[in-house]
Amino acid sequence: MSNTDPVIRRYFQYLRLERNFSENTVDAYSKDLDKLLGFLDREGVGYRDVQLSHLQTFSATLMDIGISNRSISRILSGVRSFYHFLTMEREVTDDPTVLLESPARGERLPDVLSLEEIDLLIDSIDMTKTEGQRDRAILETLYSCGLRVSELCGLKISDLFLDEGFIRVHGKGKKERLVPISQRAIDELNRWFADRDLVRIRPGYEDFVFVSCRRGSSLSRITVFHIVKELCLKVGIRSTVSPHTFRHSFATHLLEGGANLRAIQEMLGHEEIGTTEIYMHVDRSHLRQEILEHHPRNITSSAPGKSH
């Protein structure tokens, strides 16, 4: 997006030649600027016409989808750099970032796990236990699909379209959405279904994906919280981690990988971004492409497996 505008090309030359930034740093600034430009394009605002209120709304969008304050601060730093350049080059009269504040450190969102920490948690699950494979599938599904814990507990077999690479999620306000699912999550689910076939399912719970191996009924939110807490204690992760942390990690990793903000919004089931009420429908094939291109689990994934 940003490479087509001569002014923006000059900005990147400025970063390389005058600021002496490394290619990695310039690439990071480019990704952050593309996030802003994409947002402004959807709002119908040119970057020369930006006002403080537009940037505040952009910052709110990042917070709304669960991006950490630290990542938001880094993105806004790149935005300030861009408008400092525009002001210096007299492309804009006034710098709209002068009064732009970064998120307060005291208003922390839940911690975001690194990909290595997520793998550590999943790999630490005791596979000799009856529920071992179920718990692997739970964590992988939480992370790969960005689900709320209530959505995970309510997930039904009839909601799975694994051949197509999607699951149907019943979110807040009884609203449904289709969310792409990674091949790794599909594989973990398929292995869990083999174990699930051995569980004596109580009447009325036959369609639930995740059930108690002892009671044969659906899992409670408290059970999933307990699973995550015990695994964190086991591997020595001392930050505050809950099932919702996997959702924040999902959104953060996608955004940092360059995924489209609106696509993340729809995958998370957020009807609004920040203070705006604009809702833009995103084509389902585009949603899946966003996941395949930007989610860490899909870098080496193959074709989807068989559905259940």
Helix, strand or coil for residue 149? helix
> 287 pLDDT band (50/70/90 cuts)?
low
Verify whether residue 279 is a known catalytic residue.
Answer: yes
Helix, strand or coil for residue 77? helix
Helix (H) / strand (E) element for 190: namely: helix 183-196
CA 54 – CA 152 distance, rounded (Å)? 35
- DSSP letter at 168 equals E
pLDDT of residue 200: 95
64/148: higher pLDDT: 148
Amino acid making up residue 149: V
Q: Catalytic pick from 247, 262, 288, 295?
A: 247
- Report residue 171 as tokens: 């979110």
Residue 103 has pLDDT above 90, yes or no: no
User: For 8-35, what is the mean pLDDT?
Assistant: 90
Residue 64 has pLDDT above 70, yes or no: no
Q: Catalytic pick from 10, 172, 175, 226?
A: 172
- Report residue 128 as tokens: 């000799």
pLDDT of residue 305: 47
59/305: higher pLDDT: 59
pLDDT of residue 4: 74
pLDDT of residue 203: 96
Residue 5 has pLDDT above 90, yes or no: no
Verify whether residue 29 is a known catalytic residue.
Answer: no
Verify whether residue 244 is a known catalytic residue.
Answer: yes
Verify whether residue 172 is a known catalytic residue.
Answer: yes
Going by C-alpha positions, the residue among 17, 20, 16, 37 that lies closest to residue 79 is: 37
Residue 274 has pLDDT above 50, yes or no: no
The predicted-structure confidence for 113-153, as pLDDT tens digits, reads as follows 889 999 999 999 999 999 999 999 999 999 999 998 889 99
Q: Catalytic pick from 31, 191, 244, 284?
A: 244
29/60: higher pLDDT: 29
Verify whether residue 148 is a known catalytic residue.
Answer: yes
- Site of tokens 């718990």: 135
Residue 197 has pLDDT above 90, yes or no: yes
pLDDT of residue 110: 52
CATH topology classification for 115-298: hpI Integrase; Chain A (1.10.443)
Residue 225 has pLDDT above 70, yes or no: yes
pLDDT of residue 303: 46
199/295: higher pLDDT: 199
Residue 227 has pLDDT above 90, yes or no: yes
Q: Catalytic pick from 262, 270, 288, 295?
A: 270
Residues 273/67, Cβ–Cβ less than 8 Å: no
Q: Catalytic pick from 134, 148, 262, 295?
A: 148
What is the average pLDDT score of the chain? 83
The predicted-structure confidence for 198-209, as pLDDT tens digits, reads as follows 999 999 999 999
pLDDT of residue 210: 97
User: For 41-70, what is the mean pLDDT?
Assistant: 83
The predicted-structure confidence for 38-50, as pLDDT tens digits, reads as follows 889 888 899 999 9
pLDDT of residue 49: 93
pLDDT of residue 208: 97
Residue 21 backbone zone (phi > 0: left; psi -120 to 50: alpha; other: beta): beta
Q: Catalytic pick from 9, 48, 279, 286?
A: 279
Q: Is the pTM of this model over 0.85?
A: no
